[in-house]
Amino acid sequence: MIDIALLRADPDRVRENIRKKFQDHKLPLVDEALALDEERRKLQREGDDLRAARNALSKKIGELMREKKREEAEAVKAEVTADAARLAEVEARAAETEQKLRAVMMRIPNFVCAETPVGKDDSENVERQRFLEPKEYDFEVPYHLDILEKLGGIDIDSARKTSGQGFYYLTGDIARLHSAVLAYARDFMVDKGFTYCIPPFMIRSSVVSGVMSFEEMDGMMYKIEGEDLYLIGTSEHSMIGRFMNTTLDEKELPLTLTSYSPCFRKEKGAHGIEERGIYRIHQFEKQEMIVICKPEESEAWYEKMWRYTVELFVSMGIPVRQLECCTGDLADLKYRSCDVEAWSPRQKKYFEVGSCSNLTDAQARRLGIRYKTEGGSKFAHTLNNTVVAPPRMLIAFIENHLREDGSVEIPEVLRPYLGGKKEIVPKP
C-alpha cells in the first residue's frame, strides 16, 4: 500500500506506475481514492470543529451555571446535545469513508523500481547473471519422476489415492536428501547471522490481507472451513505477520530471520508435462529468509539476499542464473523482484527455484510495522527470499548430479547431513 500523501501530491506518477504494470483496469482507482480522501479530510475537519465547539460550549455552560443563569445554560446544553448527535454522525461517516479508502488503496500497486524492465509477463523477464557453467551429458537424462522412482525415492500413485493430484510420498534416501538440504540451508543461513525460526503454519485473515494482494490470496491460499484461519503458502506470511501493529526500536534493525515451514498452495491452472511429478504441487517444504530494515538499507539487503541463494546452490554444484522480473510479473506489493533459476540438463534450460523481493514499506503500511526514530516513527521496509524449496530443488539436484548408471552423487557439503553417504544408487 502506497502513502496517500504521495498519491495526493502526484496522482499522474501513480497512474504511470499502474500503466507500467499493464493494469489499466485499475486506473479509475486513483480518482476514487482522491475523492474518498477529500471526503475523509472534510469529515475530519468538521469533526474537529464540532469537538472544539463542544469544548467551548461546555466551558460556557460552567460559567453560566456559576452565574446562576440556569435557563441560558439549559439552552446551551440543548445546543451541545444537537452537536453531539451531529458529531456521532460525522464520526460514523468518517470511519466508513476511511474503510472504503483503505480498501481502494490496498488495490493500487506499489511503485516499481526504476531499474525494473518494463514487460507484460514473465516471458519478458531479463537475465542478469549466470553462475557455474550449465552441465551437458553425453547420455539422455530421464524425466525427474523416472529418476526418483528408480532410486526408490517417490510414490506418486499412493499419494493420489490418499490425497489426490499434486501430492507425493518421498521415501528412503531421497527423503533423507530432502531433509538434508533443508538442514544444510538452515545452518547456511545461521552462519550468515540469521536467526532460525519455526512459525505458525496457519494465519488469520488480517495477516493474509496484510502480506499479499487479494488476487494472490484467491489463487494461492487454502481456507480452513469455519475458522478465521488460512494455511500459509510460505513462511514469509506468518513471519512478517509476527510484527503486525508493532513499533520496533531502531537499534533492533535490521531483523534478519530464516524460517522453516511446510507450504500449501492451490496452484490454480497448473498443467502440462513439466507439471507432472513434483514441479508444481500443493504441499512442499521451504527454508525462507526475511529481513525487516530501515528504508535506506533495503536495496543493499535485496542484493545480499538473492546472492545468498546463489551461493547455496553453487556450493552444491548446481548452475543457476539470476533473472530480473519485469513490471508485469511483479505482484502488487513488490517494488523489485528477481528469480533464481537452476539449470536443467534434461530440458536444456533454466527453471525457477527461488524468488527474492523488496516490498519497501508496502507490507509495513498494511500491517502497521514501524520503528522508532528521534523524530517519531517510520514505516520499516520488508524483504523476503527463498533459501531453498525442495522438492522442486530436488529436480535440479538429481539432474545435475546424475551419473550414466542412474546413481546420484552427493556433494561434499551435504555428506555430513546424510551420515557420510557419497551417493544414492538405484534400487535393484
* Spatial distance between the Cα atoms of 112 and 18, rounded to a whole number of angstroms: 9
pLDDT higher than 90, residue 299: yes
- Write out pLDDT tens, residues 17-41: 999 999 999 999 999 999 999 999 9
Report how far apart, in Å, the C-alpha atoms of 409 and of each of 56, 176, 188, 403, 425 are. Answer: 83, 14, 21, 7, 9
Is there a contact between 230 and 223 (Cβ–Cβ < 8 Å)?
Answer: yes
pLDDT higher than 60, residue 269: no
Give the per-residue pLDDT at 276: 63
Q: Residue ranges of the alpha helices (H) in 192-329?
A: 205-211, 214-220, 235-241, 298-315
Question: What φ, ψ does residue 157 adopt, rounded to 5°?
Answer: -60, -45
Percent of the chain with pLDDT over 90: 79
- Write out pLDDT tens, residues 98-138: 999 999 999 999 999 999 999 999 999 999 999 999 999 99
* Spatial distance between the Cα atoms of 139 and 17, rounded to a whole number of angstroms: 49
173-185 average pLDDT score:
97
Side chain identity at residue 31, one-letter code? D
Give the per-residue pLDDT at 359: 97
Give the per-residue pLDDT at 120: 96
∠ CA 422-387-372, nearest 5°, is 145
Is there a contact between 347 and 363 (Cβ–Cβ < 8 Å)?
Answer: no
10-15 average pLDDT score:
97
Residue-range domains of the chain with CATH: 4-105 (1.10.287.40), 122-424 (3.30.930.10)
Give the per-residue pLDDT at 127: 97
Task: Compare 50 and 207 and report the one with higher pLDDT.
Answer: 207
pLDDT-derived band of residue 192, with 50, 70 and 90 as boundaries?
Answer: very high
pLDDT higher than 90, residue 51: no
Give the per-residue pLDDT at 273: 38
Asked if the peptide bond before residue 254 counts as cis, ω within 30 degrees of 0, the response is yes
- Write out pLDDT tens, residues 270-292: 444 345 678 888 999 999 999 99
* Spatial distance between the Cα atoms of 392 and 285, rounded to a whole number of angstroms: 10
* Spatial distance between the Cα atoms of 7 and 343, rounded to a whole number of angstroms: 42
- Whose CA is closest to 119, among 19, 216, 25? 19
* Spatial distance between the Cα atoms of 256 and 308, rounded to a whole number of angstroms: 13
pTM: 0.89
Give the per-residue pLDDT at 52: 82
| Strand partners for 16 | none
* Spatial distance between the Cα atoms of 405 and 147, rounded to a whole number of angstroms: 11
Is there a contact between 94 and 46 (Cβ–Cβ < 8 Å)?
Answer: no
Give the strands of the sheet with 246-248, arranged side by side: 246-248, 369-373, 376-379
316-345 average pLDDT score:
97
How many residues can be counted in the chain? 428
Range of lowest pLDDT (70-79, 163-172, 256-265, 321-330): 70-79
Give the per-residue pLDDT at 227: 94
- Write out pLDDT tens, residues 345-389: 999 999 999 999 999 999 999 999 999 998 899 999 999 999 999
- Whose CA is closest to 201, among 230, 181, 240, 225? 230
Mean pLDDT of the chain: 92
pLDDT-derived band of residue 268, with 50, 70 and 90 as boundaries?
Answer: low
Number of Cβ within a 10 Å radius of residue 377: 12
The 10 Å CB-count burial string (b at 16+, else e) for 12-29 is eebbebbebbebeebeeb
